[in-house]
Structure 1
Amino acid sequence: MTTAQKPTGAVGKPLDRVDGKTKTTGAAEFAAEHTYPGLAHAALVHATISRGRITALHTDDASAVPGVITVLTHRNAPPLEPVPKTSPLDLSSMVSGTSVDYLQTDEVYWDGQPIAVVVAENAAAANQAAALVRAEYAPSEAAVDFTGAEANARPQPSSPIMPAGAKKGDAEEALAAAPVALDLRFTTPPHNHNALEPHATVAVWDGDRLTVHEPTQAIDWFRAHLAARFGLPADDVRVLSPFVGGGFGGKGAVWPGTILTALAARATGRPVRLALSREGVYRTVGGRTPSIQRVAVGASHDGKLTALVHTSVTRTGRVGGFPEPVTTQSQHLYAAENILLEQKLVRLDLLPNIPMRAPGEAIGTFALECAIDELAYELDIDPIELRLRNEPEANPLDGKEFSLRTLAESYRQGAARFGWHERTPEPRSMRDGRWLVGMGAASAYHPAGYFTADITVRLSADGTVLVRCGFQEIGTGGATAQAQIAADALSVPFQAVHVEYGDSALPKGPFAGGSMQTATVAASLLEACKKLKRSLRTMARRTGGDSHEEVLRRANVPHIEAKVGSSTQLGRKSDQARFMLRLARDRRRWVRASTGAHFCQVRVDPDTGEVRVTRWTGVFSIGTVVNPKSAVSQLRGGIVMGLGMALSEETLVDPRTGRIMNPSLSEYHIPVHADVPPIDVSFLGTPDPTMPGGILGAGELGITGVAAAVANAVHHATGKRVRDLPISVDKLL
C-alpha cells in the first residue's frame, strides 16, 4: 500500500478476521452440518441423455432398499409453481439456474438433469437406492458439440446491464490498411466450479413456513425464488447462510438440489438434507462457458493502435444460462482509433452455464492480452512499453471520464518489483541450467459498481455498535471489513463493533457477485452512520456530553438506531428503481474499474514440456483497501485460480452425448500447493472518489489477465504461442 492511503483508524489495517477463530477451530457450522430431529437424507438420480422424454421409471428396487422413505419422480412429486420469468427490473428473477420445472415434467434437457429424488433414513441408503433407479427414454436429437455449432452462433442480445457489443470507426477497414496487423483466433474450454464446500441444502417445514440452510451468494434472491416456487409469501421463507465455503459464482443461482430438497421435505413431512457429491455438482451446477475468440489488431510502426477487433462465441443452455461479457475489457484498455466488439451465442442441450469468477473478463483478457503481447514482438517493442504507448486518457469508445485510472503506475511499480529489466527480449534467450526461463506480463481489469442494501446500525450506551445486514460471507472477510468501516465512521474501537449477517430475517443484503458486495454494504452503512451522528448531535444539544456513551446516558436512552432501506414490497421496488437509475446515470458519466498489472516468470523443461510458474508479482488498484490482509488473500486466490485456468483446468464434454467425462477432482485438475509460486501482491491504495468509501472491489480482479501472463511467459521461454487453453504439455512439444 502506497502513501496514497494511510490508515488513520481501523480501515486500512490488516486486522484478523472476526470469524477466523470460529472457522479454524471447526466451530463454524456449514449448511450440511445442520441437523434436526428426524432428519432424512436425499440423493439425486440423473438423466443419462441430453434431450428427450422419460418413457418409464423403474423404482421398485430402489424402494426396497432398507431405510428408503420414498422415491419422488414426476409421477408422484408435489406440485411446484413455474419458474418466474426473468426481468432486468427484478434482479432476483435472474437467480434461477435453469427454467426447468424439476419433477413436474417427463422432459429431459441435459445429461445430468435430476429425474428422481430418493429420500431415506441415512445417506448411504439414499445413495444405494438412487443407483438402482432405472429410466427408459425416447431420445430427441440434441446439439451438444460447441465447436461444431460455431456456424450457428447468433448475436448476443443486449441489455442495460450487459451490452453485447460496441463500435467506433471502421475497424475492419483500418485493420486492412494498418502497416502492421495480426488476426488471431483463441479458444478457452468449459470450466467447472470446485468450491471447497460442495453445494448442500437442509430444508425443514413448519406448517407452511420453510427454513433452508444453504451456502448461497444471494440470500435475499434465494428467498424470493423459493417463495415463488412454493407459492409462499416471502416472509414465510427463511434462508440461513452464515458460512459459505467458497462461492465464485456457482452459488449465485438456485440449482435443482435446493428446490428438490425443499420439495422432498414437503412430501415427507421430515427435515431433509441433500449434500451433493463432487460429481453431483458437475452434473447439476453450471460452470463457465467455452469460448471461441477473434482478436485482430492493427498498428503503426511506432506501436499506436489503429484498429482493435474482438469478437466472441460462447454458449448458453436451451433451458437457461448467462451470456458472458467477453469483450468488456476491450472497450476500455487501449486507445485504439477504431474498435469493433461483437459477442455471439449458441444454444446447446447442456447444463446451462453460470458466471464464474470474473465472468467474461477472465477469458476475454486471455485473448486480448496475448494478442497485445504478440503485436509487441511483431513491432519489436517491449510489451509493457507498447501498453503504455496505448494507455488512454479517456474511455476509448466514447470519451467518458475514468473515475480512477492508475494502470500505468501499476506497470511501473510492478516492473520495478519484479525485475522486468533483467528480461532479455528474445524468446529462448534465458536459461536456468537445463530449464528455459520466460517472463510475461498482462493487464488485469474488472468493472466496478454497487447494488442497494438495507441495513440497521445500533449504537448503545455502553459504546458498542451492532450492524445488521443480510449479506453473505463467502470467504472474503466481509463482516470484518464492514466492522472496520463502521468503527471509523462512528469513531469507536474496532472491537466494539459486532456485525450480524447471513440470514434472510435480517435487513435485505445484496448479491455477493461482481466484486460489489463490500462497496454496496458500505454505501448503506456509511449513510446509516451519518444518520446516527445527526441524531447524536441533536440529542447532545439537549443533554450535553462529549462522547457517544455520555450523551446516551444523560438522555437515559439505552441505544439509538438508524435504518437504511425498506422491507415493504413498495420499498423493494423503489430500491430496484434507484439501482437502475443510478446504473444508467453512472454509465453516462464515467467508467469505473479495478485494474492491475501481472508479472509472471516460468520455467519450461525443453524435453518434456513441463511448465512451472516460479515467481509472480501483481500490483493492483482497487480503490480504498479496507483490510490489506484479506485483500491480498483475495487477489492471491484469484491468481491461483488463473493458474489453473492457464495450465490445467478443462471440463471435457463428450461431443456425441453431452456427458461431462471428467466430473471429479481426480480428473479435473486444479492447482495444488506444489503448483503455486511465491506471489507478491501490492496495492496503489488510491481511493475512487465516485464509490462508497472509495472502494472498487478486489475479489474477481486477480484472475483477469493471469492466463495471458502465463501464456506470454511461456512464449518468451520457448518461442511457442499457445492460443488454446489450457497450456498442456502436448501443445509445447
Structure 2
Amino acid sequence: MNRHHKMDSADRQNRLDGMAQGLIGTDVPRPDGMAKATGTATYAAEERREGMLHGVLVRATVPGGRVADVDTDALAKALGDDVTVITDARLLQVPAQGTDGKAPPQGPDLVHYVGQPLALVVAPSFEVARHGARLLGIRYEGGEEGHFDPEDDATPTELRDKKTVDIGDLDAAMAKAAHSVDAVWRTPGHVSAAMEPHAAVAWWEGEHLTVRSALQMLKFNRDELADALGIPAENVRLLAPFVGGGFGSKLGISHEAVGAAIAARQLGRPVRVVLSRQQVFEAVMRRSETRQHLRLCADEEGRLTGIGHDCLVSNLPGQDFAEPVIQGSRFAYAAPNRHLSLRLARVNRTCAGSVRAPGEAVGLTALENAMDELAEAIGIDPVELRLRNVPEEDPTDGKPFSSMMMAEVLREGARRFDWQRRNPIPALRREGDPRREWLRGMGMSLLVRGNILDEAEARVRLLPAEDGAPVRAEVETDMTDIGTGSYAVLSQIAAEMLGLPMERVTTRLGDSALPPSPGSGGSWGAGSSGSSVYLACLELRTRLARALGCDEGELTLRDGQATGGNHSRPLAELLDGGTIEAVGHIEPGKTAKERRQATYGAQFAEVEVSRHTGEVRVRRMLGVFAAGRILNSRTARSQCLGGMTFGIGMALSEELEHDPRDGHLVNRDFAGYHIPVNADVPQLEVHLMEERDPWANPMQSKGIGELGICGAAAAITNAIHNATGARVRDYPATPDRVLAAMAVAN
C-alpha cells in the first residue's frame, strides 16, 4: 500500500497534536546513542572484508597543464609487484555536488588545481600503499600558470544573471537617504571539518558493486557512482548507516568511492580508500571566500529605503556552483529599492561547493554587520532597527510568508539576554578588571534560512506479537544520519503515529536498497523523510481503523492499544498474527511557489576584548529559534548549539589560506585551520519557539539544522564593536585584525 501526498496546498490538519503517545517534541534520547558512545557503531573506514587491499590517492603538485607521463620505476624497484597503480580515465577530477545524480568531470590527464587526485596506489597494507604513493613519479607538460586571486583584475569573472535582483533605483535612494552604510566585507574560505574523514570500501559480486562509504545523499550518490563507472544504477548498492558528520562535504560521491570501486573491479578483491586529513582538506569541497559590497539606506525613522548586496565568489573553471551569498538578502528585510548581484571568479583552487549552510551563513554575516552599523548611524537600538523593517511579504517577489516569526525571536531573544543592559556607547565597560585591560560588549544578529521540502519515500511495517514479544514497528528508508538525529526523529514519528513506546520501533537507514529519500542536506532531511514516515503511518492507521470498525480520525493509538468507535482492542488482535506495511511518498508541490517559507532566529553574544593583545573571549551566547513544529527538542537543540559553535569559529578563527603563487592550500589540517575547542566555547543557551507552519509539510515542521550558523558570526563581531569601538570587516576577527581596527577607531 502506498500513501502519496503532494504539497499543493497547505495541510491545515494539525494531526500530530491529536496523537496520544506524547513523544513528538520531547527530548527523546537517540536510539543510536549508546552504540556511538561505546564505539560499537562502525563507520566506513572500519569496514573489514576478507582479502581487503588498501589504496592511497596520488595528487597533483601543479595547478594546471596535463599529465604527460606516470613513472612507476622507482615504486616497482622499492616495493615489487604487490603494488598496483591505477590511472583510470574514470577517476574524478573534482567531487560531486550531490544533487543531480551525475558524475563530475572525469579523466586524470588534465590538471586544474594543486591537490587534484590523479592516480591511486593499491597495496596489501595502508603503509605500503602510502609509501608507494610518495614514490610515484608524475611528469607534467603544457598548461597556463592559472589564476589564484579572485580579486585580481586579470582573473576572469562572470555575472550570474539569473541571481540578479534589480528593483527600484538604489543609487537614487542612497543619494537622498537620511542615513546610509556603504562598505565592503570579506569572508575567507571554509572547510566542512567533519570529524570522520572521507572513506570507502568497495567490493564486487559479479556485476554488482557494493560500497560502504561516508555519504549524505544515497539516492543521488548511487546514480553519481554508476554514472562515473558507466554501469547501471541498479547494479550499485551504497551503505552508510553511520556518518561522522558531513556539513556538505559528503553530499556527493568523491574520489575515494570511485577509486575504490575501479580498483576492486580490476584486482578482484575488496579495496579500502581512506583520505588523510590533509587529503580531505585538498580534495573535498571548500566554501568559497567572498567579497561583499553592502549598501543600506534608511529614512529618519530607521525604515530601510534601499538594500544593495553585490558579491564576488570563486570556483574552478567549468564548475557551475557559485556560493549563493545573496539568498537571505532577498527576503530578510523590507526595502523598496533593491540591487543584489553575484559574480563568479574562475580560479585554480580546490573545488568550491556547499559547506555549512551555503549562502546565508556568510551572506547574513555581512548583512547583519551592515545593519549594526546603520543602527549606530541612525542612533537607535540594533534590535529596534530590525523590528522596524520586518517585511509583510517577500520584498523581492511579493509572495506571502508561510509563517513569520521574525519579530517574536528578536523580542524574546532581547528579553532573555537582558539586552537592555547593553551600553550603546562603545568601549565603556571594563567591569571587574582592575587593570582596565578587558573591554566588554554585547552584540546581536538576525538569523534567516529558507525552508525546503524534497521528494522522499519510507516504508513502515507493523509486526505482530511473537514468542512473548509485543507488537513492534520497523521504519526503512535510505535517509542518512550524519549526527543530526535521524534515527531518533523518524522513530519518534512512527512511535507517535502508531501508539508505540520508542523501544518498540526499529529504524533502518543508510542503505540505497531501501526506499529513496533526499538524504541529509539543506536542512530538509527531517521534514522530507519525516513526512514520508508520517504518511506511511497514516495509511497503517487507516487500515487499523477499518479493522476496529471506525474512521481513522476517531482512532486513538497508545501503548499498543487501539480505541475508537466505542471499541478498544490491543494492536496484536487487530493484526491477527499478520504483518502490515505501507510506503509513504511525499513530493513538493505548489506550496513552495505560493509562499515564502523560512526559518528565523536571533543570536546575542557578550564578549571581552583585550585592549593590549586584541584577544577576543566569548563570555556567553543566546540563540532563539523558530522552525515550525520541533520534532525532537534534544536533537534540535544540539543542532542549534553546533551552529552557534560554528559561528564562533567563523567569527574568530576559521580561514583557509591559499598560496598566491600556485593556489595550493597552506593550512591543510587542524594544526593550521583552527576550529573552536572547548576553551573557546562558553555556556550557550538555546530557546526553541512554539510555531506551526502548515505550508511546509504535513507535520508542520521546518528545517533547523543550518539556521544556527546563518549570521551567528555577526553577533560576535558586533559585540566586538560594542566593546572596543572597532569594526572588523575582514573575517575572521583574529587578534591582529582586532588591534588594527582598534587603532583606526581610536
TM-score of the alignment, normalized to the shorter chain, above 0.5: yes
Q: Which amino acid aligns with 1:29?
A: T
1:450 aligns with 2:457: no
SS of equivalent to 1:458: strand
Aligned to 1:245: 244
Following superposition, the deviation at residue 551 of structure 1 comes to 6.0
Following superposition, the deviation at residue 553 of structure 1 comes to 3.3
Change (3 A) 1:682 1:68: farther
Moved segments of 4+, more than 6 Å: 4-8, 81-87
Aligned to 2:193: 194
Q: Which amino acid aligns with 2:723?
A: A
Following superposition, the deviation at residue 689 of structure 1 comes to 1.6
Aligned to 2:495: 487
Aligned to 1:560: 580
From 452, 467, 475, give the equivalent of 2:475: 467
From 694, 703, 711, give the equivalent of 2:709: 703
Report Cα offsets for 1:19-78 as digits up to 9, x if no partner.
00000000011000001111100111111111101222221222334476333243xx3x
Q: Which amino acid aligns with 1:208?
A: E
Change (3 A) 1:68 1:508: farther
1:727 aligns with 2:737: no
CA contact (8 A) 1:83 1:99 kept: yes
Aligned to 1:619: 624
Change (3 A) 1:194 1:428: same
1:528 aligns with 2:536: yes
* C-alpha distance in structure 2 between counterparts of 1:370 and 1:343, whole Å: 19
SS of equivalent to 1:686: coil
Following superposition, the deviation at residue 81 of structure 1 comes to 9.7
CA contact (8 A) 2:286 2:354 kept: yes
Aligned to 1:571: none
Change (3 A) 1:606 1:502: same
1:376 aligns with 2:348: no
* C-alpha distance in structure 2 between counterparts of 1:124 and 1:300, whole Å: 67
SS of equivalent to 1:148: coil
Following superposition, the deviation at residue 312 of structure 1 comes to 0.7
* C-alpha distance in structure 1 between counterparts of 2:318 and 2:643, whole Å: 30
Aligned to 1:570: none
CA contact (8 A) 1:155 1:343 kept: yes
* C-alpha distance in structure 1 between counterparts of 2:414 and 2:52, whole Å: 57
Q: Which amino acid aligns with 2:539?
A: K
From 52, 65, 70, give the equivalent of 1:57: 70
Following superposition, the deviation at residue 316 of structure 1 comes to 1.6
Change (3 A) 1:368 1:250: same
Aligned to 1:644: 649
1:437 aligns with 2:440: yes
Following superposition, the deviation at residue 91 of structure 1 comes to 4.1
Q: Which amino acid aligns with 2:709?
A: I
Aligned to 1:147: 151
Q: Which amino acid aligns with 1:711?
A: T
Change (3 A) 1:549 1:658: farther
* C-alpha distance in structure 2 between counterparts of 1:597 and 1:546, whole Å: 43
Change (3 A) 1:72 1:321: farther
From 628, 631, 634, give the equivalent of 2:636: 631
Q: Which amino acid aligns with 2:106?
A: V
Aligned to 1:518: 526
1:664 aligns with 2:677: no
Report Cα offsets for 1:455-485 as digits up to 9, x if no partner.
1111123321111111000000111111111
Following superposition, the deviation at residue 651 of structure 1 comes to 0.7
CA contact (8 A) 1:144 1:658 kept: yes
1:212 aligns with 2:220: no
Structure 2: gaps (5+ residues): 1-15, 466-470, 556-560, 740-746
Change (3 A) 1:469 1:289: same
Following superposition, the deviation at residue 110 of structure 1 comes to 1.3
1:415 aligns with 2:445: no
* C-alpha distance in structure 1 between counterparts of 2:31 and 2:575, whole Å: 32
CA contact (8 A) 1:197 1:246 kept: yes
Following superposition, the deviation at residue 187 of structure 1 comes to 0.7
Aligned to 2:595: 590
Change (3 A) 1:470 1:68: farther
CA contact (8 A) 2:459 2:475 kept: yes
CA contact (8 A) 2:180 2:298 kept: yes
Following superposition, the deviation at residue 319 of structure 1 comes to 4.2
Report Cα offsets for 1:408-428 as digits up to 9, x if no partner.
111111111111111110010
Q: Which amino acid aligns with 1:30?
A: Y
CA contact (8 A) 2:422 2:442 kept: yes
1:335 aligns with 2:338: no
The normalised TM-score by structure 1 is: 0.92
The normalised TM-score by structure 2 is: 0.90
Matches within 5 A, 1:338-357: 338-357=337-356
* C-alpha distance in structure 2 between counterparts of 1:556 and 1:24, whole Å: 39
Give RMSD over aligned pairs. Answer: 2.4
SS of equivalent to 1:154: strand
Q: Which amino acid aligns with 1:326?
A: V
CA contact (8 A) 1:620 1:684 kept: yes
Aligned to 2:280: 281
Following superposition, the deviation at residue 494 of structure 1 comes to 2.2
Following superposition, the deviation at residue 549 of structure 1 comes to 6.9
Aligned to 2:106: 100
1:686 aligns with 2:691: yes
* C-alpha distance in structure 1 between counterparts of 2:427 and 2:671, whole Å: 34
Aligned to 2:84: 71
Aligned to 1:653: 658
SS of equivalent to 1:131: helix
Report Cα offsets for 1:305-364 as digits up to 9, x if no partner.
111111111112124352221111111111112111111111222221110111010000
From 160, 171, 193, give the equivalent of 1:156: 160
CA contact (8 A) 2:591 2:695 kept: no
Tell me the number of residue pairs that the alignment of Structure 1 and Structure 2 aligns. 700
SS of equivalent to 1:147: coil
CA contact (8 A) 1:62 1:71 kept: no
Following superposition, the deviation at residue 165 of structure 1 comes to 2.5
CA contact (8 A) 2:94 2:116 kept: no
Q: Which amino acid aligns with 1:474?
A: I
* C-alpha distance in structure 2 between counterparts of 1:617 and 1:30, whole Å: 34
